Amino acid sequence: MSYSQVVYDRLSKIYAHQSEYLQAVLEVLVSLEPLLKSTNIYEKNKILERITEPERLIQFKVEWLDDKGEIQVNKGYRVQFNSAIGPYKGGLRFHPSVNEGVLKFLGFEQIFKNSLTGLPIGGAKGGSDFDPKGKSDNEIMRFCQSFMLNLYRHIGATVDVPAGDIGVGGREIGYLYGAYKKITNTYEGVLTGKGLNFGGSLARTEATGYGTVYFAREMLKTKNDALEGKICTVSGAGNVAIYCCEKLHQVGAKPITVSDSRGMILDENGINVDVLKQVKEVERASLTRYKELVPSAKYISVDEYKKGTNAVWSVKCDAAFPCATQNELNKEDAITLLNNGCKLVAEGANMPSSIDAINVFLDAKIHYGPAKAANAGGVATSELEMQQNASMCSWSFEKVDSKLNDIMTHIHENAAMTAKEFKADGNLVLGANIAGFRKVADSMIALGVM
Residue number, 232 or 444, with CB nearest to ligand NDP: 232
Q: Which of 375, 388, 389, 414 binds ligand NDP (CB under 6 A)?
A: 375
Q: Is 211 in the site for ligand NDP (CB under 6 A)?
A: no
Work out the end-to-end distance of the chain between its first and last CA atoms, rounded to an integer number of angstroms: 28
Q: Is 255 in the site for ligand NDP (CB under 6 A)?
A: no
Q: For residue 53, give every residue at least 6 positions away whose Cβ sits within 8 Å of its Cβ, in sequence order, or none.
A: none
Closest listed residue to residue 205, CA positions, set 280, 153, 261, 271: 280
Q: Is 205 in the site for ligand NDP (CB under 6 A)?
A: no
Q: Is 370 in the site for ligand NDP (CB under 6 A)?
A: no
Interface stretch with ligand NDP, choices 8-16, 64-72, 170-178, 348-356 (CB under 6 A): 348-356
Considering only CA atoms, give the Rg of the chain: 21
Q: Is 336 in the site for ligand NDP (CB under 6 A)?
A: no
| Residue 310: CB minimum distance to ligand NDP, A | 8
The backbone torsions φ and ψ at residue 119, rounded to the nearest 5 degrees and listed phi first, read -105, 155
Q: Which of these is catalytic: 89, 104, 125, 247?
A: 125
| Mask for 257-296, x = binds ligand NDP (CB under 6 A) | ---xxx----------------------------------
Q: Is 301 in the site for ligand NDP (CB under 6 A)?
A: no
Give the integer Cα–Cα distance in Å for 424 and 110. 23
Closest listed residue to residue 374, CA positions, set 334, 315, 319, 444: 319
| Residue 209: CB minimum distance to ligand NDP, A | 8
Residue number, 4 or 325, with CB nearest to ligand NDP: 325
| Residue 208: CB minimum distance to ligand NDP, A | 4
Interface stretch with ligand NDP, choices 47-55, 82-90, 230-238, 409-417 (CB under 6 A): 230-238
Q: Is 206 in the site for ligand NDP (CB under 6 A)?
A: no
CB 35 within 8 A of CB 434: yes
Q: Which of 80, 115, 128, 239 binds ligand NDP (CB under 6 A)?
A: 239
Q: Which of 350, 353, 418, 433 binds ligand NDP (CB under 6 A)?
A: 350
| Residue 448: CB minimum distance to ligand NDP, A | 32
DSSP assignments along 32-97, one per residue? HHHHHHH-SHHHHTTHHHHHTS-SEEEEEEEEEE-TTS-EEEEEEEEEEEE-SSSSEEEEEEE-TT
What string of H, E and C letters represents the secondary structure of 122-138? EEEEEEECCCCCCCCHH
Q: Is 378 in the site for ligand NDP (CB under 6 A)?
A: yes
Give the integer Cα–Cα distance in Å for 386 and 159. 12
Does 125 qualify as catalytic in the annotation? yes
How many other C-beta atoms lie within 10 A of the C-beta of residue 293? 15
Closest listed residue to residue 239, CA positions, set 324, 173, 300, 132: 324
| Window 153 to 192, contacts with ligand NDP (CB under 6 A) | 164-167, 169
Residue number, 92 or 434, with CB nearest to ligand NDP: 92
SS3 of residue 353 by DSSP = strand
Q: Which of 200, 236, 370, 431 binds ligand NDP (CB under 6 A)?
A: 236
Give the integer Cα–Cα distance in Å for 437 and 56. 19
Q: In this chain, which residue has its C-beta nearest to ligand NDP?
A: 238
Which letter does DSSP use for residue 306 in this model?
Answer: P
Binding site for ligand NDP (CB under 6 A): 164-167, 169, 208, 236-241, 260-262, 323-325, 348-350, 375, 378
Report the catalytic residues. 125
